[in-house]
Structures are given as structure tokens and as C-alpha cells.
Structure 1
Amino acid sequence: MPPLLALISIGVTGCPGNSGSSEPKPAPPQEVSVSLPGVDTSSLTPRERREWAAQVSELLSPCPDTPVNIAQCVKEQRACKACLPAAQLLLKQVKDGRSKKEREDAFHMRFDANKVKTLATDGSPEMGPPDAPVTIVEWADFECPFCRLMSPLLEGLVSRFDGQVRLVFKFYPLQAHVHGEPAARAAIAAMNQGKFWEMHHLLFENQDKLEQADIERYAQRLKLDPVKFRADLVSTETKARIEKDKKQAEEVGLEGTPLIYINGREVDLQLLTNPGQDIEDWVKLDLELLGKTPRPAPPKPAGAPDAPASGST
């Protein structure tokens, strides 16, 4: 039902104006005053401050061994390092106009220990050091436009946080995309010759050109052995690799691509307002909570070309 008809159907025909009733007006809601060190609420409206204050006073701290609410945890400077970031996250969510449930969902997504999953990454193509403190796992479809947009953001984190981030790629070609599986097969065939990321880039950069002839042209550009490449495209091992990744994604509840996990915690993109910055902030916070200092990549010498992406096969 259109919104206007819905309002008419319940007797609402306009915004209420001044009433002639002599009944006293209800008192405005009392503002819950919460002031926390390290949290600047000056940009919030009175209503937003009330909502934020109520929520940090209701939700328990992210640390199971600190059974107090977030506000008390921050005020008393308890040992839980995640309390201040949790209060700051809720403030940002309030400021962005999120509903109470959305704010609570974002809090649990980011801090609830029960949300962390152990993900097997053996055999998957990866970029960055294998012992990096932060591991990003992405399931993607080469024909998915959102995956194409996310790809450079995630790869950028590997170079931005020098030696601190590992990116793992997993295959999930969607049934709705007829070129998704052939492209995934091409990436695996290239991986078998040490050129996964190079093929990965070509497939995303040419997302509207994924016919068989296009894929073979990309293989030629990468100087892959054509006989081996064609054999690997149709091999049972390649099919099994894709099915293994798809099964794992379905076990963790994939509903669409890209599906992103950071250190075993799902990143619900719908709860982010600025995915690029929000994911970078997520990585920074993970490093800080692990006692690491986020370090930027060393500057390149003047005039130095961008290094090609590398990764294990």
C-alpha cells in the first residue's frame, strides 16, 4: 500500500497542529545525561543524545569478564578495551539515523564474541603474510558488480597496513550470473600457474567481457600454458574447489556476494554507512584490540611503479 494511502487508512490526514484542548501538554522526555571520556556527543541533537545515552546504559560491555554496561565500563576505565570503541560505534550509528534495532545489531556484529567463526582457508588464494594479525576472507562472484567495487578496497588494506593484513579469496559464482562459474574456473586455472591475482584483476576489470574467447585472451595476455589452462578449466579438481567454497559459504549463511569476514566476524555491509572507511576503521580497531599499532605501508620511492599484487597459490 502506498505510504499516503496507509496513513489515510488509519485516520492520519496531516501533521497535528495546535489543539484547542485545555488538557495539559505532556512534559518533554527527560534527557538521560551520560558523559563519557573519549566520546564527543556535541554533534548530536538532544533526541540523539537521549537515544545514545539510553543504549550505552542498557547494553553490557563486549567483554564477558566485565559484566557492567558500556557507560559504566568507560567511566570506570575497566580493563575491557572494547568498551570505548563500542560507545563510539553506537554514537556513529545514532548520528547516521539508524534505528535502535539496527544499532544493536551493529554492536553485536562488531563486538559479540559469539559471532566469531573459525574459517578454514587452506588452499585458497591469498595476498599478504600468512601470519598477519588481521585476516579478511571474501566470497565473491566475478560477475557481481558489488564484488568488483569491493575488490580494490580490500586489496588496498593489504598494502595500507604493511604486513598486518592478509586477504583470502573464496569462490561463490551465483546461479543468476551465467559467466560467474566460467570466470571462477579461469581464475583457478590461472592460480595453478601462479597467476591468480593477475587473472582476478583482469576478470573484474573486464566484467562485461567474460565469454570463452575473452577468457582465453586473458590467459594469453598472462602468458599461461594454453594446454594446461584449458585442461584446468574443465577439470574435476577445479569444480571441486568451487563447490568446497560454496558449501563453506552456505554453512555460514551466505545470502549474497560479496560476503566478508574479518578475523572470523561477518561484516554486514548493510549496517555500514561508508563501507570503504568503515572497513578500514574495523581493521584498525582489530589491530588495536590485539595490542598492535596500525602501521602504514612505507612510502614508495618517487617515480616507482605500483607493484603487482602477489599471493600464494
Structure 2
Amino acid sequence: MTTLKKNLLAAAVLVAALSVAFGSFLLFAPRGSAPVAAEPASDARPVRDDSHRLTAPRRGELTVVEFLDFECEGCGAVHPTVERLRAEYGDRVTFVARYFPMPGHHNSTTAALAVEAAAGQGRFEAMYGKLFATQKEWGEAKESKAGLFRAYAAGLGLDMARYDAAVKAPATLERVRADQRDGLALGVRGTPTFFVDGVRIQTPGTYEDFKALIESRLSR
């Protein structure tokens, strides 16, 4: 092998190594306000007893879990599909939402804390829906949107003293971290990531594709 070829090969290996390292930095390095710093869970599960279920069929035939980031544009884009599917299959399929705030989004953890605080008052779904419905108004902002999320909470009729206390409580952040720990151990590296009956899948590109996947699993 010529010296030139050896140098080119060494350079390629170096670039690849740096790319992997940089990708890991983007995923795990703290950026923005209140980033989640989580270690992979040792006993990871796609669904836990305290996971937030968007549907609760009496006899669930299938479970679809989404690890999501409320600031993620991809999650916002797939949200209408999830809503349509759970309206259609909610009596047969258990749809579960789990937190996975990405470090590159300044308000992703802040949003997750707001939703979890609302969940403490039985309004998980209401705040979950509100943040996706308004994502274009606050997503990608560099400044904290905690005040805006608080206004949303007030608009939903939440007890604001309880909400404020919950947002600040270490247990609320820990609840978000617990979801992310499971996600990391299960191979989640970006959002949205879906699991169907415990198996990670490639996110279907359209509603029709997702519907076909669900129909194929229900027919087994």
C-alpha cells in the first residue's frame, strides 16, 4: 500500500471516529435549559406501570409506545397520525407516550416538566395535546418558554400552586429521566422512536403505512 493510500485511509478512520464522537456529544452533551442527564436503565422496559397511556382498552391486543420530544419537529409531524390511529384503534390498541427530551432543544425538558406537572393533576393528555398544537409558536426558541407553558396550564384550569410546585420538584425531573433511561437502554437515539409490542420499529412514513403495520399485527 502506498504512503498516500495509507494516509488517506488513516484520515478516513479519523473522520469516522470524530463523527461518532461528535454525534454522541450532540445527543448527550447538556445544552439549553435544564437538560436531562440520564444513564441507561439496567432493567429497561418499553412500558412501565406508571407510563402514560393515551388509550386503555379493556382487552388490549397491541401496544404502541412512542418515545418523544415535544420540541421535535418530527414528533410534531407524526402527532396527527398518532391521534388518528388512536381514535381508530383505541378500543384495541394501547398507545403509550414516554418522554425523551433531546439535548439540542432548549425547551424540550422544560416542556416535559410542564406535561408531567399537568399529569399530576390528571391532565397529561390535555397538556400533551396543547404543546403539540402550539409547537410552531415556541419550538426552536433560544429563551425559556416556562412562562408560556405555565400560561397553558392556567388555561387548562390547573391549580397553579400545585403546578408550580410540581415543575420545581426533583421528583418531576426524575420521572422524565426515568423514561429517558429506559429509552437509552432500549436503543433510542432520536425522536420519534416507536416500539410495537416491545420491538423497536422504523417510523412509518405515512398514516397508511402505520395503519397497515397495525392491521398486520392485529391479524396475527
TM-score tier by shorter-chain length is 0.7 to 0.9
The residue aligned with 1:267 is 201
Moved more, 209-218 or 194-203: 209-218
C-alpha offsets along residues 18-72 of structure 1, whole Å, 9 cap, x if unaligned? xxxxxxxxxxxxxxxxxxxxxxxxxxxxxxxxxxxxxxxxxxxxxxxxxxxxxxx
Match for residue 129 of structure 1 among 56, 60, 69:
56
Q: Which residue of 244, 247, 250 maps to 2:181? A: 247
Say if 2:210 is the partner of 1:279: yes
CA RMSD of aligned residues (A): 1.6
Deviations for 1:215-246, whole angstroms, at most 9, x for unmatched residues? 11101110000000001001111111111111
More helix by share: 2
- Partners of 1:129 and 1:200 lie apart in 2 by 17
- Residues 286-305 of structure 1: matches in 2 within 5 Å? 286-289=217-220
Please state whether the residue corresponding to 2:162 is helix, strand or coil.
Answer: helix
TM-score normalised by length of structure 2? 0.73
Structure-2 separation of matches of 1:126 and 1:247: 18
Gapped regions of structure 2 (runs ≥ 5): 1-43, 140-144
1:30-49 aligned at under 5 Å gives the runs none
Contact residue 118 and residue 163 of structure 2 kept, 8 A: yes
Deviation at 1:212, TM superposition (A): 1.8
Aligned pairs for 1:15-94 (under 5 A) are: none
- The alpha carbon displacement at 1:264 in A equals 1.3
Shift of 1:156: 1.6
Secondary structure of the equivalent of 1:137?
Answer: strand
Instruction: Give 3-state SS (helix, strand or coil) of 1:254's partner.
Output: coil
Give the total of aligned pairs.
170
The correspondence of residues 124-163 of structure 1 with structure 2, limited to 5 A, is 124-130=51-57, 131-163=59-91
Q: Tell me if the contact between 1:121 and 1:168 (Cα under 8 Å) persists in the aligned partners.
A: no
Aligned to 1:226: 160
CA–CA separation in structure 2 for the residues paired with 1:186 and 1:252: 25
CA contact (8 A) 1:158 1:164 kept: no
Contact 1:190 1:199 in 2 (8 A): yes
Distance (whole Å) between structure 1 residues aligned to residue 175 and residue 84 of structure 2: 26
Q: Secondary structure at the match of 2:104?
A: coil
Q: Percent identity?
A: 27
Question: How far is 1:265 from its partner?
Answer: 1.7
After TM superposition, give the deviation of residue 162 of structure 1 in Å: 4.8
Asked whether the 8 Å contact 2:62–2:197 carries over to 1, the reply is yes
**Residue identity in the other structure for 1:260:** F
Q: Secondary structure at the match of 1:169?
A: strand
Quick one: which of 138, 141, 145 aligns to 1:209? 138
Query: Of the two, which has the highest radius of gyration?
Result: 1
Give the letter aligned to residue 225 of structure 1.
D
Amino acid of the residue matched to residue 235 of structure 1? A
Preserved contact between residue 53 and residue 94 of structure 2 (Cα < 8 Å) = yes
